[in-house]
A and B are shown apart, each in its own frame.
Chain A
């Protein structure tokens, strides 16, 4: 085979290429490791991709695209699906016209996440058909398949990836652009899209019928792979665990499930009947094994210790051997730290020196929790800093309440900080409160993505820009201040102390570009200025 036909792609890149080939009209999402590269690559390949303020909005925009009859892809990390869960559950009731594929990139082992939730539970809870690829070829194939299923049954489809599938590069042979993708066009289909109880009741029945049909399809022709081997051991696996298992037990019989919800349970039952011992190898929670047992298939799961962290070949060997002896602890590497020159450093120095109680949030600045700062007391999910800070203020004795500060990044503020500010204005604590937005002009944590506060689109071209200070003033925050962190005439510590002393609501925006983003931002600004000049010239000629 020539290299022109085969490509070495990450799973994320493979999904992007498939989205392009599937004729996706618009890709939406919010950055989150390990999903971020999908939309970036889709844009680079010439697709139309947009960052939304958060995952809920991303899914809603995509739903609109699907109702318009066009294909759409929504990408997010696993916790993003919590944010998007509200539209997801009811989108499942609607009839989508164009294919709607939701990518959830799970992070077992928490390489870069705050939890290791297993989003296969969402498939079952929201009744969303789910495909789980084990390598980039499958990521490509399953993306195309997901669109077919989504349009055939007019249902959103979940493509569940995990960190290793997203980031591992493996060989892909693409099929090329799909022909015959429908053009967008609106038709009124009120009962299929307006989920008032009168329409939602039949819609729920329709959903269950769709799932039964999809299950029958999965039994008949769904993506299953069987590697027949020794009949003493049969292994049922899915996703990345399947390749670990095939390597760990090459002599065994293997059944790899591609569509894991709804399951092809009869095919699994037939496979189980042909082997003496059946083991389910899956990362994360015991989801598949419980489904099999509920269907009356006798299957062994894994010991509880393997629920935690990623699986690998060695761990699968241990699972098969029933080995529950303590695992060797891998030596600890050097932890990451805030870059030298990072403006977050100044902020956490000041908060440490003032002995503040810091309700933190998620981003690069979460590294303020580590020495030498140790200046973060809580961190739960994006946006939680504001609510948690307010709760602390309401409950703590006054001398402690006065030291509470909420610290949030700029991307995180747009994602889910606005409602926190509304809460602060609506239910101000007796001691007031201080929220700090650490505005470094980018979504640094996930690799420098744009957001509505940067004034640039996903492809870094210019667009409208949200004004955080304008928003806060309009919402009624009493003190709104903006400072440049580099301003040497300024004592950040004194300013924070001053705001903490007031029993008022305050927002302090500290502004300085992330040192990794700064050269890029200068480059984008220059390009924008040049194109604006070019634009004026040609306009002048036209005039």
Chain B
């Protein structure tokens, strides 16, 4: 069986961690994979740490990414990197907010989508599913700015080298 892909997305409440993981899960779902995504979202709206796990592949069992088995760790807030680093496997990819050049985003709120753009360069999900998944999770008036954000993140990842750990 194909290995399951494990992605952990983390940040602070209000940053769009859960929206980003919904989008990623939906993109994988649209691409025809088995998908599970899970998080604890008790008090996330009060600004505390939030993280969400997305797993996809031919068959996914547990909805939680085991510690040390994340292929990709996507972090929206620099202070959350160290807390979540134990999730990453050896050789896994860490994508943090510093990937984007200063002022690259028109709207700071689209950081989550920009970083998904970066993630899209290391996952085997076709581009059209990404866009459909992002649109499905956002009001229509936000589509354009998030199109741009996704492209900015993707470009930054393709230009720079994403850190392997």
Residues of A whose CB lies within 8 Å of any CB of B are 3, 6, 8, 33-34, 109, 111-112, 135, 163-164, 167-171, 240, 243-244, 246-247, 312-314, 328, 330-339, 364, 367, 445, 447, 516
A-B contacts, 29 of them at CB < 8 A, read A6-B29, A8-B29, A111-B42, A112-B40, A112-B42, A112-B43, A167-B39, A168-B36, A168-B37, A168-B63, A169-B25, A169-B35, A169-B36, A170-B36, A170-B60, A170-B63, A243-B63, A244-B61, A244-B64, A312-B62, A331-B82, A331-B84, A333-B48, A334-B47, A335-B48, A336-B44, A336-B46, A336-B48, A337-B48
Q: Does B126 contact A (CB under 8 A)?
A: no
Asked whether, in the complex, the Cβ of A171 is within 8 Å of the Cβ of B35, the reply is yes
- Please report the C-alpha to C-alpha distance between residue A164 and residue B39 in the assembled complex, in whole angstroms: 8
A166 and chain B: residue at smallest CB distance: B38
B163 within 8 Å of A by Cβ? no
CB-contact partner of B62 in A112, A163, A244, A330, under 8 A: A244
Q: Ordered nearest first, which 3 A-B pairs have the shortest CB separation?
A: A333-B49, A112-B42, A336-B46
Asked whether any CB of chain A lies closer than 8 Å to the CB of B67, the reply is: yes
- Do A312 and B49 have beta carbons less than 8 Å apart? no
A314 to B40, CA, bound (A): 18
Among candidates B35, B44, B84, residue contacting A8 with C-beta atoms closer than 8 Å: B35
What is the CA–CA distance of A223 and B142 in the complex, to the nearest angstrom?
45
Which residues of B are found within 8 Å of A338, using beta-carbon distances? 46
**B42 contact set on A, CB distance < 8 A:** 33-34, 111-112
Residues on B with C-beta less than 8 A from A330 are 67, 86
Q: A336–B40 Cα gap in the complex (Å)? A: 13
Least Cβ distance of B54 to chain A in Å?
A: 9
Given contacts A244-B64, A333-B80, A336-B13, 5 further A-B contacts (CB under 8 A): A164-B63, A169-B35, A169-B37, A333-B49, A339-B47
Contact A243 B62, CB 8 Å, known A3-B29, A3-B30, A337-B46: yes
Do the beta carbons of B61 and A243 come within 8 Å of each other? yes
Q: Counting chain A CB atoms within 10 Å of each CB, which of B30, B36, B82 scores highest? A: B36
- Give, as a whole number of angstroms, the nearest-CB distance from B69 to chain A: 8
Contact, CB under 8 Å: B66 / A313: yes
Query: What residues on B are CB-neighbors of A170 within 8 Å?
Result: 35-36, 60, 63
B36's contact among A3, A109, A135, by CB below 8 Å, is which? A135
Distance in Å from the Cβ of A41 to the closest Cβ of chain B?
A: 15
Which residues from A are CB-within-8-Å of B60?
Answer: 170
CA distance A33 to B41 in the complex (A): 9
Within the complex, the shortest CB–CB distance from B21 to chain A, in Å, comes to 9
B12 within 8 A of A: yes
Residues of A within 8 A of B49 (CB): 333-334
B45 contacts the other chain (Cβ, under 8 Å)? Answer: yes
Q: Is B139 an interface residue (CB 8 A)?
A: no
B29 neighbours in A (Cβ, 8 Å): 3, 6, 8, 171
* Beta-carbon contact of A8 and B26 below 8 Å: yes
B65 → chain A closest CB, angstroms: 9
Inter-chain contact A312/B83, CB cutoff 8 Å: no
Q: How far is the CA of A336 from the CA of B45 in the complex (A)?
A: 8
- Closest A residue to B63 by beta carbon equals A168
Q: How far is the CA of A504 from the CA of B13 in the complex (A)?
A: 43
**B107 contacts partner chain A, Cβ-Cβ < 8 Å:** no
B62 in contact with A334 (CB, 8 Å): no
In the complex formed, the residue of B with least CB distance to A447 is B45
Q: Distance in Å from the Cβ of B41 to the closest Cβ of chain A?
A: 7
C-alpha gap A387/B42 in the complex (Å): 27
B79 within 8 A of A: yes
Q: Which residues of B are found within 8 Å of A3, using beta-carbon distances?
A: 29-30
Once bound together, how far apart are the Cα atoms of A134 and B30, in whole Å?
A: 23
Q: A9 to nearest B CB, angstroms? A: 10
Evaluate whether A247 and B62 lie within 8 angstroms (CB atoms) in the complex, with A334-B47, A334-B48, A339-B46 already known: yes
Q: Which of B30, B38, B48 contacts A168 (CB 8 A)?
A: B38
* Cα–Cα distance between A34 and B40 once the two chains are bound (Å): 9
Q: Which residues of A contact B82 (CB under 8 A)?
A: 331
**Which residues of B lie under 8 Å from residue A164 when comparing CB positions?**
38, 63-64
Q: Mark B85-113, 1 if CB is under 8 A from A, else 0.
A: 01000000000000000000000000000
Which of A168, A243, A338 has the most C-beta atoms of chain B within 10 angstroms of its own C-beta? A168
**How far is A246 from B36 in the complex, measured between Cα atoms in Å?**
15
Query: Which residues of chain A come closer than 8 Å to B43, judged between CB atoms?
Result: 112, 336, 445
Write the nearest CB–CB distance from B24 to chain A, whole angstroms: 11
Minimum CB–CB distance from B153 to chain A (whole Å) comes to 23
> Is B34 part of the binding interface, using a Cβ–Cβ cutoff of 8 Å?
yes
A516–B45 touching, CB < 8 Å? yes
**Within the assembled complex, what's the spacing in Å between the Cα atoms of A332 and B51?**
12
* CB-CB nearest in chain A for B44: A336
* Closest B residue by C-beta to A244: B62
Task: Report A-chain residues with C-beta under 8 Å of the C-beta of B61.
Answer: 243-244, 246-247
Residue among A163, A240, A246, A333 making CB contact with B83, cutoff 8 Å: A333
**Complex CA distance for A244 and B29, rounded to whole angstroms:** 21
Minimum CB distance partner of B49 in chain A: A333
Bound state CA distance, A243 and B61, in angstroms? 5
Q: Given the complex of chains A and B, what is the CA–CA distance between A337 and B61 in angstroms?
A: 34
User: Do A167 and B62 touch (CB < 8 A)?
Assistant: no
- B40: nearest residue on chain A (CB-CB)? A111
Task: Specify the chain B residue showing the minimal Cβ separation from A110.
Answer: B42
CA distance A135 to B35 in the complex (A): 11
* B78, chain A: closest CB distance, angstroms: 12
Question: What is the CA–CA distance of A385 and B132 in the complex, to the nearest angstrom?
Answer: 49
Binary contact track B125-163/A, C-beta < 8 Å → 1, others 0 = 000000000000000000000000000000000000000
